Amino acid sequence: MKKSLRVRIVSTFIIIVLASLFLSFGITSLFSERKVTLEQQFLTITGDIATLLDLTDPDQRDKVMDILSDYHIYGAVIKEGSELPFSLTETKVSPLFQSTTSEPLFLDIEKGPNPVRLIGVPNIDNSGSSLILKMDFTGFLEIMQRILLVGLFIVLLIGSFLILLAAHYIVEPVKRLTSAAKEMATGNLTVRLKHKKKDEFGELMDSFNHMASELQKIDKMREDFVSNVSHEIQSPITSIRGFTVAIRDGIIPADRQKEHLEIIYQETLRLSKLSDHLLRLASLDSEHHPYHPVKYRLDEQLRRVILVAEPLWTEKNLDIELDLQACPVKADHDLFEQVWQNLINNAIKYSDEDGVIEVIMEVNDLAVRVHITDTGKGIPEIDLPHIFDRFYMVDKARSQSDGGNGLGLSIARKIVELHDCKIEVKSTEGKGTCFTVSIPL
């Protein structure tokens, strides 16, 4: 059977209260048995009454005793050999007539917190008369116990009512969170919780709202990703389909078919490149991507990547300026080679003819920083926050004509983050762009 949080809170409170009551009674009883007795109080009261009777005229003593009986204190003044009250025996009262002082003494042998006691005071008026008192506080103690029990019961009722209110205060935000979570599970990521709480529940609701916002962003990214992938795949497929149908149906003359076959070939390369990039991103996103860090010379790797790209930068008559230092790093060699290829190819792609590309290394005791700077047209400030987003292209027409798909920088950043490194970009429109990769040593 499912128990609500409210029921658990109230039940816990009641159990704690009841357990506390039982423990209190038990501890009180134990304490009373060991430490607390009424003997001293009985003796004090008896001594005061004896003094009062000693000061009272013998003819008025009966009236005093009648008044004391209203307080459950009964007494009698006896002499040796007279009739004994309260069913006492000669043996029990003999200490009264043998005592040489007038100090009160108990005539019964019971010990402990007994509310009914028989006490005698020898020679109360120096005439040989002794006072015997029977004190019965049973009724008083019963009344006090009833008052105590009623008070505890009222405390339990009031406490239960207050804990119900407190439970509602505690459970209500939990129920709101549960309802919002169920709403979100249906696909509604716009749900938010409004509140004015400053406690832990307020923090929990703020965290829920932040989670919902992040999920909404991720969902939007997913939708954009699917849309972009569909577009990137559909565009070359449409070209391939159109040209193959035209060639098959004889619409394109034979002397121009080679040109269109080249276009079909380039589109297949574009699809293959897109497929490779998507697989690389999916692998990097997973927790099982192969990662094999080794120690190697970073400067040699950069020289090799630039050398491989020589046909691209010589075609545009670009000057490559290098300022490299011998620097060993520990990283995944193949993955970082992908980073440098993407960054350098981008610098070549977006540089104008006769431009300059600089590759500079800065090395200190903590890290090595690699700056790759071009003299291209730069990136507009509005586009800078998005250049690492998947499928984001500043100049879509130029990127697609060059076979780009907007995934290169996303892959580069993913690889850099996988190594706990950092990639930054600075750009001035019309002057060029600088990418900086920082690698801890």
Domain ranges (residues) in the chain: 39-136, 200-284, 291-440
Mean pLDDT throughout 330-337?
A: 89
Q: 3-state secondary structure string, 204-233?
A: HHHHHHHHHHHHHHHHHHHHHHHHHHHHHH
Helix boundaries (H) for 126-199: 138-185
User: Confidence class of residue 111 from pLDDT cuts 50, 70 and 90?
Assistant: low
Two domains, one topology: 200-284 and 291-440: no
**pLDDT computed for residue 36 by the predictor:** 43
Q: pLDDT (tens digit, 9 = 90+) per residue, 366-385?
A: 899 999 999 888 888 888 88
Amino acid code (one letter) for 431: K
| CATH no. for 200-284 | 1.10.287.130
C-alpha to C-alpha distance for 211 and 264, rounded to whole angstroms:
45
Q: Provide the 8-state DSSP code for 440.
A: E
Question: Cβ(354)–Cβ(437) under 8 Å?
Answer: no
**pLDDT computed for residue 100 by the predictor:** 76
**pLDDT computed for residue 1 by the predictor:** 41
Model confidence at 2: pLDDT above 60: no
| CATH no. for 291-440 | 3.30.565.10
User: Rounded to the nearest 5°, which phi and psi values hold at 106?
Assistant: -80, 140
**pLDDT computed for residue 396 by the predictor:** 52
Helix boundaries (H) for 186-297: 200-248, 257-285
**pLDDT computed for residue 340 by the predictor:** 92
**pLDDT computed for residue 112 by the predictor:** 53
Mean pLDDT throughout 289-306?
A: 88
**pLDDT computed for residue 397 by the predictor:** 45
Mean pLDDT throughout 388-401?
A: 62
State if pTM tops 0.75: no
Mean pLDDT throughout 271-294?
A: 74
What tokens does 236 get?
A: 């070359």
User: Confidence class of residue 151 from pLDDT cuts 50, 70 and 90?
Assistant: confident
**pLDDT computed for residue 8 by the predictor:** 66
Model confidence at 403: pLDDT above 60: no
User: Confidence class of residue 389 from pLDDT cuts 50, 70 and 90?
Assistant: confident
Mean pLDDT throughout 232-260?
A: 81
Instruction: Map residue 437 onto helix, strand or coil.
Output: strand
pLDDT-above-70 percentage for the chain = 86
By the 10 Å C-beta count (0-12 exposed, 13-18 middle, 19+ buried), 132 is classed as buried
Mean pLDDT throughout 2-15?
A: 66
